[in-house]
Amino acid sequence: MKSLILIAVLTICIKGLLYYTGPGVDAPTLLIEDGKPVVCEVRA
């Protein structure tokens, strides 16, 4: 069950990066600790 949530979070982060990366545009940031994704957030 946790793996499904992890995949969903990664998918959201990746799609967010693909759609929103660009100059002057906030992009979702995936923070990784010990090789595991911890949080996906939008940073200004």
Q: What is the pLDDT of residue 9?
A: 75
Question: What does pTM read for this prediction?
Answer: 0.33
Burial level of 18, CB count in 10 A (0-12/13-18/19+)? exposed
**What value does the mean pLDDT of the chain take?**
61
Q: What is the pLDDT of residue 44?
A: 43
Nearest to 30 by CA among 12, 44, 19: 12
Burial level of 7, CB count in 10 A (0-12/13-18/19+)? exposed
- Tens place of pLDDT for every residue, the chain, 44 residues? 678 877 777 777 666 665 555 554 455 555 555 656 555 555 54
> What residue spans define the domains of the chain?
2-43
